[in-house]
Amino acid sequence: MNEIPQGPFCQSCGMPMSEPEHFGTEKDGSKSEEYCSYCYQNGAFIDESITLEEMIEFSAQKIDEIGIMPYAEARKMTGQFLPELKRWRK
């Protein structure tokens, strides 16, 4: 990866949220400060049943697809980073 993305980062998938449209919404329509629009809308997670392992796999594939880094590197990185995010901490 050439540059480190600026946060804040979604506390579910790790996506940097740098544009207003990246932020999810709360029940009252206000912007979520913690979760992106791909993970969280109207005060709830879009996919409540996704597991941490599934999110790691999904995120790694997306990172590879958009050309940020190769899949193997992305898989390693997401496997280390995502468990530290609020949604997945135990």
- pLDDT tier, 1 (very low <50, low <70, confident <90, very high otherwise): very low
**pLDDT score for 5:** 62
> Alpha carbon of 70 to those of 13, 18, 49, 64: distances in Å?
18, 23, 27, 5
Mean pLDDT of the chain: 93
d(CA 50, CA 55): 7
d(CA 87, CA 74): 20
Please tell me the pTM assigned to this model: 0.86
